[in-house]
Amino acid sequence: MKHGRFFLALLIFTLASVACQAAPMATSLPPTRPSATSAPVPASALPTVALAAPAGSLTVFAAASLTAALTDIGKAFEAENPSSRITFSFAGSQALRTQIEQGAKADVFASADSNNMDPLKSAGLIVGTTPIFTRNRLVVIAPKDNPAGIKTLQDLTKAGLKLDIADASVPVGNYFLQSLDKLAADAAYGADFKTRVLARVVSKENDVKQVVSKVALGEADAGIVYLTDAQAAIGKLVTIDIPDQFNVIAAYPIGVVKGSANPTLAQKFIDYVLSADGQTAMKKYGFAPRQ
| Residue-wise pLDDT tens digits, 132-155 | 999 999 999 999 999 999 999 999
SS3 call for 224:
strand
In this predicted model, what pLDDT tens digit does every residue of 201-255 receive, in sequence order? 999 999 999 999 999 999 999 999 999 999 999 899 999 999 999 999 999 999 9
Yes or no: say if 130 and 254 are a contact pair by the CB < 8 Å rule.
yes
Classify domain 57-135+251-284 by CATH number: 3.40.190.10
The confidence score (pLDDT) of residue 39 equals 40
> What's the CA gap between 44 and 13, in Å, rounded?
62
Among the four given CATH numbers 3.30.70.1050, 3.40.190.10, 3.40.50.720, 3.40.640.10, the one describing domain 138-241: 3.40.190.10
57-135+251-284 against 138-241: fold identical: yes
Burial state string for 4-39 with b = 16 or more CB within 10 A and e = fewer than 16: eeeeeeeeeeeeeeeeeeeeeeeeeeeeeeeeeeee
Residue ranges of the alpha helices (H) in 51-148?
Answer: 67-80, 93-101, 118-122
The confidence score (pLDDT) of residue 139 equals 98
What's the DSSP call for residue 77?
H
When pLDDT is averaged across residues 271-288 and rounded to a whole number, the result is 97
In this predicted model, what pLDDT tens digit does every residue of 37-85 receive, in sequence order? 334 434 333 333 334 445 589 999 999 999 999 999 999 999 999 999 9
Give the closest residue to 274 by CA, choosing from 130, 137, 171, 138.
130
Instruction: Give CA 36 to chain center in angstroms.
Output: 52
The confidence score (pLDDT) of residue 37 equals 37
Burial state string for 101-121 with b = 16 or more CB within 10 A and e = fewer than 16: eeeeebbbbbbbbbebbeebb
Yes or no: say if 290 and 134 are a contact pair by the CB < 8 Å rule.
yes
Yes or no: say if 259 and 169 are a contact pair by the CB < 8 Å rule.
no
When pLDDT is averaged across residues 73-102 and rounded to a whole number, the result is 97
In this predicted model, what pLDDT tens digit does every residue of 150-204 receive, in sequence order? 999 999 999 999 999 999 999 999 999 999 999 999 999 999 999 999 999 999 9
Yes or no: say if 92 and 207 are a contact pair by the CB < 8 Å rule.
yes
Q: Is 289 exposed, middle or buried (0-12, 13-18, 19+ CB in 10 A)?
A: exposed
Q: What is the bridge-based pairing of β-strands 132-136 and 250-257? A: antiparallel
| Extents of the domains making up the chain | 57-135+251-284, 138-241
> What's the CA gap between 219 and 217, in Å, rounded?
6
Contacts of 203 (CB under 8 A, 6+ apart): 164, 165, 214, 219, 220
Give the closest residue to 224 by CA, choosing from 236, 234, 211.
211
Query: Per-residue pLDDT for 107 more than 90?
Result: yes
pTM for the full predicted model: 0.80
The confidence score (pLDDT) of residue 191 equals 98
